[in-house]
């Protein structure tokens, strides 16, 4: 009888769990270009030389292309911003620009200072987006500083510092399970230039890399419909 009850418990837990998936890949260097998309240079020697790993795994490549889709966060002109970063470590570790520098693991991570706060990537242009991937430490050398309570927000016209501004659209909310491993979060297709993780609790939360995806050619977005009037439709009284 206990086994039956446990089975039902597992089934219910699976049904109510958020749609997250651990995102595994081989840590090899990806292509520098993918169709129209050109990516940041990934100089692993320079990253390793600058890294203070503390005896844990050093930098590992983040994919420029995953599942035959370009990583928009690694586009050549994509930039990272944050509301704050932990003091006293950058550039050895935990810099804002390490959010999308193309390398996983603790010494190439960002850590937030005060909460609530946020980290975001500006893709550089509007694109279709439907999933992001991030974790606390890809190597799992450190099992602390995990995100537990956050929203995923997108914007097309303005990256307002206030995450509550009406220029932001909330596409995902996460509360509960701590995000330790590199994990995928999916949502409906949406247009976005800025993708933000707004962190509500847990000061010192670490993100070692933010990946952004939206399809094989996500910047081929259809223009929004515009109200147009032809001369034939204009009536002069």
pLDDT tens-digit readout, 162-216: 999 999 999 999 998 999 999 999 999 999 999 999 999 999 999 999 999 999 9
The pLDDT assigned to 11 comes to 40
Element (H, E) at 11: helix 2-16
Between residues 68 and 223, which one has the greater pLDDT?
A: 68
Q: Report the predicted TM-score, pTM, of the whole model to 2 decimal places.
A: 0.85
Identify the weakest region by mean pLDDT among 4-8, 96-100, 154-158. 4-8
What is the maximal distance between C-alpha atoms in the chain?
82
Element (H, E) at 197: strand 183-199
Quick check: 214 and 128 in contact, CB under 8 A?
A: yes
> How far is residue 225's CA from residue 204's CA, in Å, rounded to a whole number?
43
Q: Which residues pair with 211 in a beta bridge?
A: 133
The pLDDT assigned to 223 comes to 54
The pLDDT assigned to 23 comes to 79
Q: How confident is the model at residue 15 (pLDDT cuts 50, 70, 90)?
A: very low
Helix (H, G, I), strand (E, B) or coil at 206: strand
> Which pair of structure tokens corresponds to residue 114?
């005060």
Element (H, E) at 2: helix 2-16
pLDDT at 39 over 90: yes
Quick check: 104 and 63 in contact, CB under 8 A?
A: no
For the chain, what is the mean pLDDT? 87
> How far is residue 223's CA from residue 219's CA, in Å, rounded to a whole number?
11
Cα torsion for 177, 183, 188, 189, to the nearest 10°?
Answer: 150
Write down the residue that tokens 């889709």 correspond to: 69
Alpha carbon distances (Å) from 131 to 11, 20, 46, 98, 215: 25, 10, 30, 20, 9
């Amino acid at each position: 009888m206990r086994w039956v009850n446990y089975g039902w418990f597992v089934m219910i837990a699976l049904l109510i769990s958020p749609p997250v998936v651990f995102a595994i890949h081989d840590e090899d260097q990806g292509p520098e270009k993918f169709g129209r998309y050109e990516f940041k240079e990934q100089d692993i020697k320079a990253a390793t030389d600058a890294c203070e790993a503390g005896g844990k795994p050093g930098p590992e490549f983040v994919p420029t292309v995953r599942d035959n889709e370009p990583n928009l966060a690694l586009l050549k002109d994509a930039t990272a911003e944050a509301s704050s970063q932990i003091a006293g470590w950058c550039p050895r570790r935990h810099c804002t620009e390490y959010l999308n520098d193309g390398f996983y693991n603790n010494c190439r991570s960002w850590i937030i200072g005060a909460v609530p706060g946020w980290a975001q990537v500006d893709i550089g242009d509007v694109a279709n987006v439907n999933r992001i991937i991030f974790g606390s430490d890809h190597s799992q050398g450190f099992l602390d500083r995990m995100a537990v309570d956050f929203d995923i927000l997108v914007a097309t016209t303005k990256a307002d510092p206030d995450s509550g501004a009406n220029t932001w659209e909330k596409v995902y909310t996460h509360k509960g399970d701590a995000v330790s491993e590199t994990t995928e979060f999916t949502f409906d297709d949406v247009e976005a230039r800025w993708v933000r993780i707004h962190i509500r609790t847990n000061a010192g939360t670490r993100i070692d890399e933010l990946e952004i995806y939206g399809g094989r050619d996500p910047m081929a977005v259809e223009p929004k419909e515009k109200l147009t009037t032809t001369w034939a439709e204009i009536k002069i009284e």
